[in-house]
Structure 1
Amino acid sequence: MKRHLNTLFVTTEGSYLAKDGAAVQVRFEKKTILRVPLHNLDGIVCFGRVGFSSQLAAACAESGVSISLMSPYGRFRAAVVGFSPGNVLLRRQQYRVADDPAATGKIARNMIVGKIANTRSVLLRAARDSKHEERSERLKAAAEKMAPLLSLVRKATDVDSVRGYEGESASRYFSAFSDLTSDPDFEMKGRSRRPPTDRINALLSFLYAMLSHDARSACEACGLDSAVGFLHRDRPGRPGCALDLMEEFRPVLADRLAVSLINRRQINAKGFEVTSAGAVRMNDKTRKTVLAAYQQRKQDEIEHPFLGEKTTMGLLIHLQARLLARHLRGDLDEYPVFIWK
């Protein structure tokens, strides 16, 4: 079983990472500011202009530590990963299933059932916790509007239908998202990406990028090809399988965290800036706050609903990747999606 390890986030531009024995050394302006043993890490995420040595890249590849390269504001650019520990038979089966419309539709359906169920749980929990009766009623109504879609997607047999229901559920969910937060500076007027045009979208996009890094690591760790998905179509440079695994976790690991950061006043409007092109981005201080909160959220304990075992939130996506691999091998009749309760 995979142990819960840490992710090293390097946010200071101009930093340089080097191999120092069995550790990674972080340097800035020729001074060593941090030294972390490689065996304590499962990933390194570099933001913006951060360099690293070829010796460190080789050591990380051998140790199973991925290096993800992001833009200064969280957009994925590239990754350095080592040889996959999975056997070729699993990947060959993954490719066969991805080419089978019926089998692909079945997996995609289960994933979106999980996503819609989890988004409804986010809305209903917020409704119960809200001290404002009108807001609570609006959240309950939004959750009820998603119930018919949940029934429809459970009956879907093809991927295109699943994608359609997923798009409609996302539209209904994000139309109610502003009622989840208590700060008018974080009002959502719709989902916007590439670039995000308001603060809440900038925050969500950043958290989704972190979740994508974890999903890629989960795929590679259990031998799946992160590029070949079932819900997401193949596209050069897109990690389709990692994006598939993310769907059921977006509401639980990213959306809930974003709402908590805003409602607890851990971040505020001053921590965001607008570029000349109209994009909204977090400043360095806010980004570090979000990263620390994300790492803390991954340490929270939860009982896995299918396995019946206690684990951490951070390991959930790794467990789901292994369950997907077991389904592909034929050990499980269906992919058991994660339902948050």
Structure 2
Amino acid sequence: MELLNTLYVTLPDSRLRLDNATLRVEVEQETRLRVPLHHLQAVVCFGYIGFSGPLMHRLAEEGVALVLLDANGRFKARLEGGISGNVLLRQAQHQAVLDATRTLELARAVVAGKLKNQRHVLLRGAREAKAANDEVKLTRAALNVAGSIRALPGATSLEAVRGIEGEAARNYFSVLTLLVRPDLRDAFAMEGRSRRPPRDRMNALLSFFYSMWMNDCRSACEAAGLDPQIGFLHAVRPGRAALALDLMEEFRPLADRLALTLVNRGQVTERDFIEREGGAVLLEGDARKAVVIAYQERKQEALTHPLLAESIPLGVVPLVQARLLTKHIRGEAKQYVPFAMR
């Protein structure tokens, strides 16, 4: 599929060839797609995709990046010619981070995207609630999160933005257990969010999902040519992929929904966790494999991107969002629009 001047090749056993000034995608020697090279800024390939030598040389000459990801979307390599816009993009990114106004605007956008998606999760839960008391509590929490969203434009510092995010998180996680089946709530009870280490089963499951989303968002930053270490909402620290954490924020509620689905369907049970000395709770080995499979299956599901109005797999959305972020950083888009759940 072609989105934002980027070709995403997801079909296994595809082979890419050069046909005059056109890239041709073949599967089992059958042509599936032709794209003029002058339409492209990047070609992103998932898994083992074949390339012809002439095509790779031509992409380098034309300044079209070739990005290699594994089948799960993990970043492997980015191949570019001698003249690359990548350094200019990263220079623009570093300059944007030093601009307090732009940093604040992007931080607000990142948090707004996360909070809107959290509100969506709560409102959906309220609609599906079987008990009237649960519906009231979930609706009230959603209203509180909506109040936090309204407060964001008035936040004049990163500390204020982070404070609003923290207050919304407390409201959100205080009722998240109400989205668990009543007969499973004791086993998956949580008192707020606990991270390092997680102190209960639900927090352990959420942390596992968040780590997978984090890897995908870091891959998306790398694939787009961005520096994953230099973020806007998250402070820069050695060894911390701050921009990947920024990009990941809007996807956390999607991870929450999948975690709740697995628990409510009985695909993850209380027996799938172990408790270590000191109170840390971890997902055990066999259950990890099942959760990874569920995550990969979820990423294959198609959805309509609200900004592009095109149907794409969920697993491609972080790559699209990273590309939208590059357009904003370069000044090609007035603002960054985070992904919104529907």
TM surpasses 0.5: yes
Tell whether the 8 Å contact from 2:9 to 2:46 is kept in structure 1 after alignment.
no
Change (3 A) 1:269 1:277: same
Q: Is the CA contact 1:124–1:140 (under 8 Å) kept in the aligned structure 2?
A: yes
Distance (whole Å) between structure 1 residues aligned to residue 139 and residue 242 of structure 2: 33
* Contact 2:75 2:223 (C-alpha < 8 Å) held by counterparts: no
Q: Given the alignment of the two structures, is residue 41 of structure 1 paired with residue 40 of structure 2, yes or no?
A: no
Distance change (3 Å), C-alpha of 1:299 and 1:67:
closer
State the one-letter code of the partner of 2:68: G
Q: Which amino acid aligns with 1:291?
A: V
Counterpart CA distance in 2 for 1:286 and 1:339 is 30
- Match for residue 127 of structure 1? 126
**Alpha-carbon spacing, 1:195–1:162, altered in 2? closer, same or farther (3 Å):** same
Residues 40-189 of structure 1: pairs in structure 2 closer than 5 A: 40-41=46-47, 64-65=68-69, 82-83=77-78, 87-182=86-181, 183-184=184-185, 185-189=187-191
The CA deviation at 1:278 is 1.9
| Structure whose CA Rg is larger | 2
* 1:306 partner amino acid: L
RMSD (Å), alpha carbons: 2.2
User: What secondary structure, in the 3-state scheme, does the structure 2 residue paired with 1:186 have?
Assistant: coil
> How far did 1:41 drift?
2.1
Residue ranges of structure 1 left out of the alignment (5+ in a row): 7-38, 43-61, 69-78
Q: What residue identity is the alignment partner of 1:312? A: P
CA distance in 2, matches of 1:67, 1:80: 10
Once the two structures are superposed, the pairs formed by residues 292-307 of structure 1 within 5 Å of their partners are: 292-307=293-308
Per-residue CA deviations over 1:260-282 (Å, capped at 9, x if unaligned) read: 01111111000101112321111
**TM norm structure 2:** 0.77
Matched residue type, 1:226: P
Task: Give the fraction of aligned pairs with identical amino acids, expressed as a percent.
Answer: 44
Q: CA deviation at 1:156?
A: 2.5
Q: Could you tell me which residue of structure 1 aligns to residue 282 of structure 2?
A: 281
The one-letter amino acid paired with 2:311 is: K
User: Paired residues, what number?
Assistant: 280
Counterpart residue number, 1:22: none
* AA matched with 1:64: L
Partner of 1:203: 205
Per-residue deviation, 1:3: 2.7
Aligned to 1:314: 315
Distance (whole Å) between structure 2 residues aligned to residue 284 and residue 145 of structure 1: 38
User: For residues 248 and 225 of structure 1, what CA distance do their matches in structure 2 show?
Assistant: 19
Tell whether the 8 Å contact from 1:248 to 1:338 is kept in structure 2 after alignment.
yes
Aligned-partner SS, 1:331: coil
Hey, what's the Cα distance between the residues in 2 that align with 1:178 and 1:67?
A: 33
The answer (yes or no) to whether the contact 2:68–2:75 under 8 Å persists in 1 is no
Query: Would you say the 8 A contact 2:75–2:219 is kept in 1?
Result: no
CA, structure 1 residues 337+65, in 2 after alignment: closer, same or farther (shift >3 Å)?
closer
Question: How far is the alpha carbon of 1:137 from its aligned partner?
Answer: 1.6
Give the distance between the partners of 1:84 and 1:40, measured in 2 at CA.
Answer: 14
Please list every run of at least 4 consecutive aligned residues from structure 1 whose deviation after the TM superposition is greater than 4 angstroms: 83-86
Whole-Å separation in 1 of the counterparts to 2:131 and 2:9: 38
CA distance in 2: counterparts of 1:124 and 1:330, whole angstroms: 35
Q: Deviations over 1:244-271 (max 9, x none)?
A: 000011002x100000011111110001
Secondary structure in structure 1 of the residue aligned to 2:190: coil
Which residues of structure 2 form unaligned runs of 5+?
A: 1-5, 12-44, 49-65
1:157: Cα distance to partner? 3.6
